[in-house]
Structure 1
Amino acid sequence: MNLKTTFATFFLLSFATASLAQKKAVIILLDGIPADVFERVDTPVMDQIAAEGGYTRAIMGGEVGARTESPTISAVGYTSLMTGTWANKHNVYGNDIEAPNYRYWTIFRMMKEGEPESKLGIFSTWEDNRTKILGEGLKETNYLQLDFVFDGYEKDTVTYPHDAEKFYLSQIDEFVSSKAAETIVIEGPDLSWVYLEYTDAVGHKYGDSEEMDRAVQLADQQVKKIWEAIQKRRLETGEDWLIWITTDHGRTHKDGKGHGGQSTREREIWFVTNAQNLNANFSERKPEMVDVVPSLIEFLELNIPKKVSKKLDGVSLIGK
């Protein structure tokens, strides 16, 4: 066999192996970090991830003045992230999450319905992400069940005494990010959601400040544990792992403490991902929060019922 034939054979085998590699995804949401703050602060780990894939500013909040306009409030952002729809569909308009419309499936339900043997994980400072937004165990979500659950620690005031600075949230973030890393290495969930809250608490208290910058840097180090776990898992198993990191809203121009409105700074979020085949929707326009679910569907190669896919408000940022 000559050198050209050997190279061609190696290339084809490598391509086939990559195509057949089991695909897994991790969504990380770092609460309340405006795009300009994220870009200013030194975040070497997320920079490394973006170098492998890409970084872009994005939009949360739908179309201003139209029926899709959605408050730039945390739970609204989480639900848009998980369902690929705006608030006029998923019906979450505030952090109380009063009456989610579960007819608009989350990516977790899509994964479980499309791949019943798939393993799902959540690692979250806030229990409502699982019980209300994902709707675990509810009839309306076809009794969705997650396999790896680390949340609800905000209710444990013995282990995590609540302090005025809300540093206890940082301690919880540290714990759930460590559990996410550990679970990825050992169990390799097919789809995981990691939610870290401390940056939002610091933003509300201090706004644009050195304290906020340090909180973002701390979040970068927590992401590092998860990123290193993914790299270890990829090396050991040959699996194809996607990581998608974002935030749920920006903050007000005045002092960086508030959010909820439709100002440019409140609406501007950002995406960091290691995805290799990002398309023009990612690079040539400002993508939106609702584009994440279609991108995950594309990457994970999920077969979604038309009654579900036709309700999505976003487009894939991956592939053609």
Structure 2
Amino acid sequence: MTQRKPYALIIGWDGVRHDRLSALELPALQAVADTGFLQGTTMPEESQAKTSTAPGWSTNLTGVWPTKHGITDNEPMPNNFGLYPHLLQRFLDAKPDGNTLACVCAAMLGSTKGPGPILAGGVSTLIFHDVRTHPLGPLGRDPLVFEDARRQLAERDYDLSFVYFAGTDKTAHLSGTLGKDYRDAIVQEDRWTGELINTIRQRPNFAEEDWLVVITTDHGHWDEGGHGGNSWQERQSFIAMARLDGDLGFVPSEQLANVDLAPTVLTHLGVKVLPDWDLDGAPLQR
């Protein structure tokens, strides 16, 4: 039997509390959980880093905690990405003929705002819809991120893709996490996620492709909205992961951590995780 070519899609739902998910109808997330897993995780204590966007996504994408990657806040600061690059860079370093995609709107991911750009280098195609240039901010930019990501996944061949939605975080800041607005924002991101997965399934060579799909977040929120501190509400995260039309092949331990995401995705893509990378996470395939 011919081995299918590995691909990976990581979808970020910014500022989504894990404990709010169970009360919602989220077909895409549930489908991933049913064939793989959905498990809560915890971001570092405030003594290491604030529960904020830049530290959270730096941790998710590099496979090391803030004590190594150096990003502890959303403010300008030096980083250690030269020693601990994000996984899109790791992938291209190992496979120079590969192709990576990032569709994002957070200024710190795609521009020099704060400690950014977190996605400097390693991205074959970067589509950046700056939240600062739309009157609705993330709420206006997320639909553009979705449409561009869907088009790229349908028409081009990316080994590794990262798609980031910010509307849930913005909604929590505006309305808190207890009401209908926040629930609706999560449902919308789940709907977009489902459409991206359906786009992958409709690719002409999908039967010959081995897709790993990951959904995760960078931090939680207080009930009334806001984050950055040390409460259990703010430190919440989660990882959902599945192989489309395939057995995941492993079960995560109770000690699953956000730093395990990057080495797990790289292993799926055929990149050997080396000891001298000094990662804090490890491939779940072990």
Same topology, TM > 0.5: yes
Q: C-alpha separation between the residues in 2 aligned to 1:297 and 1:24?
A: 10
Partners of 1:35 and 1:154 lie apart in 2 by: 25
Which of the residues 95, 104, 110 maps onto 1:115?
95
Correspondence 1:279 to 2:250: yes
- 1-side partners of 2:122 and 2:232: how far apart? 37
Q: CA deviation digits over 1:241-297, x for unaligned, max 9?
A: 111001111122xx24122222222222111221433534x2x40411111012112
Deviations 1:3-30 (A, max 9, x none): xxxxxxxxxx2xxx2xx21111111111
- The partner residue of 2:63 within 84, 92, 101 is 84
Partner of 2:260: 291
Q: How does 1:108-257 map to 2 (within 5 A)?
A: 108-131=88-111, 132-136=116-120, 144-156=121-133, 160=134, 162=135, 166=136, 168-207=137-176, 208-233=178-203, 236=206, 238-252=208-222, 255-257=223-225
Mapped partners of 2:226, 2:199: distance in 1:
34
Mapped to 2, the partners of 1:23 and 1:109 lie a distance apart of: 17
Work out whether residues 121 and 192 of structure 1, in 8 Å CA contact, stay in contact via their aligned partners in 2.
yes
* Structure 2, gaps ≥5 residues long: none
**CA offset digits 1:76-106 (Å, max 9, x no partner):** 0000011111111111011124211121121
- SS at 1:294 equivalent: helix
1:235 Cα deviation from its structure 2 partner:
5.2
Structure 1 residue runs of 5 or longer lacking an equivalent are 1-12, 137-143
% identical aligned pairs:
23
The one of 43, 47, 53 equivalent to 2:36 is: 53
Bigger share in helix? 1
Q: What TM-score, normalized to structure 1?
A: 0.80
Larger radius of gyration: 1
1:192-246 per-position Cα deviation (integer Å, ceiling 9, x unaligned): 1111101001101111211100111111111122111121127545111111001
Query: Is 1:37 aligned to 2:16, yes or no?
Result: no
Instruction: Report the equivalent of 2:52.
Output: 73
Paired with 2:97 and 2:80, the residues of 1 have a C-alpha distance of 25
Q: Secondary structure at the match of 2:71?
A: coil
* Aligned residue-pair number: 277
3-state SS of 1:315 partner:
coil
Q: Please identify, of 20-29 and 144-153, the stretch whose mean Cα deviation from structure 2 is larger.
A: 144-153
Distance 1:278 1:259, change over 3 A: farther
